[in-house]
Amino acid sequence: MKTLKVALIQQPCPDPPDEARHISDEAVRRAAERGARLIVLPELHCGPYFCQQEQSETFDRAEPIPGPATDHFSALARELDIVLIISLFERRAAGLCHNTALVIERDGTIAGRYRKMHIPDDPGYYEKFYFTPGDLGFEPIATSVGKLGLLICWDQWYPEAARLMALAGAEILIYPTAIGWDARDDETEQKRQLDAWHTVQRGHAIANGLPLVAVNRVGHESDPSGSSPGITFWGNSFACGPQGEMLAEGGVEKTELLADIDLRRGEQVRRIWPFLRDRRIDAYGDLLKRFRD
């Protein structure tokens, strides 16, 4: 059986960027020492989640690809002989930036990139101010460890994104994430949100017969303006199999989670639950509409 040891790096992401990078480096090294061959970092792990406010000077954080972050993590992947997924604020041109995840191969080369397609705009998550919607589509990235269906955070609520990755041949769905609680919500509401986050993604795994990895950051990050209580990132990173079975699950603390994922199990599951076979593609035209009035 083709078993892949995957590490989920659940970390805080402080300023300055050198400190966040050091936290990532140390966690990646520990995971590699424990045998991980694919290592996934959380969304925008090179520093604080800056989208709590709209501030034009924040665009100074964006960087090109290749650039300082890609050079640094490419060298790390090459040294450790791992496939590494990183996430950064990509500067494509003046006034044109993306929320981008990159797959770095074992030799340090960039295997591919994914630009976040679904961009939120909610209190504390003002991403539309910073990020242009992705234009690379839903294309898996071929690597030495398999075809990776890479998506980012808000994408995780959309079954269409997971399905299109599956239809394009992805062998595993991967979601770097930055999601947390508003302290003004009570514990019951916070639990509902976390349960929904787990449930919808496990549903994507089940509906597509694929394993799935979701990697979140942890820790409290203050609102720079002081107008809100900030965000407490809830962690709870997890990996599940193609029937939604939990393979690894974290709590709210900094950690490296390891999961052994059988990439061939999807074949077995799809034989007994042939959802792709039974899709009524002749009847789905209305999915291209925003809403049926």
Q: What pLDDT sits at residue 170? A: 98
On whether residue 288 sits in a domain, the answer given is no
pLDDT above 90 covers a percentage of the chain that reads 97
On whether residue 290 sits in a domain, the answer given is no
Contacts of 181 (CB under 8 A, 6+ apart): 190, 193, 231, 232, 234
On whether residue 204 sits in a domain, the answer given is yes
Domain that holds residue 26: 3-277
Q: What pLDDT sits at residue 101? A: 98
Least confident stretch, 110-114, 182-186, 243-247, 256-260: 182-186
Which two three-digit tokens encode residue 217? 């950051």
pLDDT category, 169, cuts 50, 70, 90? very high
- In the residue annotation, 43 being an active-site residue is answered as yes
Q: Which of 46, 97, 116, 221 is catalytic?
A: 116
On whether residue 92 sits in a domain, the answer given is yes
pLDDT category, 264, cuts 50, 70, 90? very high
Q: What pLDDT sits at residue 225? A: 86
On whether residue 98 sits in a domain, the answer given is yes
Q: Is residue 1 scored above 80 in pLDDT? A: no
For residue 17, give the CATH number of its domain: 3.60.110.10
Q: Is residue 70 scored above 60 in pLDDT? A: yes
- In the residue annotation, 160 being an active-site residue is answered as no
- In the residue annotation, 51 being an active-site residue is answered as no
On whether residue 286 sits in a domain, the answer given is no
Q: What is the DSSP annotation of 50-93?
A: GGGS--GGGGGG-B-SSSHHHHHHHHHHHHHT-EEEEEEEEEEE
Q: What pLDDT sits at residue 9? A: 98
Q: For 99, how many CA atoms within 13 A lie in the half-sphere containing its CB?
A: 31
On whether residue 284 sits in a domain, the answer given is no
Work out how many domains the chain is built from and give that number: 1
Mean pLDDT for all residues in the chain: 97
Q: What pLDDT sits at residue 67? A: 96
pLDDT digits (tens, 9 = 90+) for 73-97: 999 999 999 999 999 999 999 999 9
Q: What pLDDT sits at residue 227? A: 86
Q: Which of 46, 51, 153, 240 is catalytic?
A: 153
Q: Which of 43, 105, 127, 171 is catalytic?
A: 43
Q: What pLDDT sits at residue 2? A: 87
| Omega of the bond leading into 16 within 30 degrees of 0 (cis) | yes
On whether residue 292 sits in a domain, the answer given is no
pLDDT digits (tens, 9 = 90+) for 193-252: 999 999 999 999 999 999 999 999 999 999 988 889 999 999 999 999 999 999 999 999
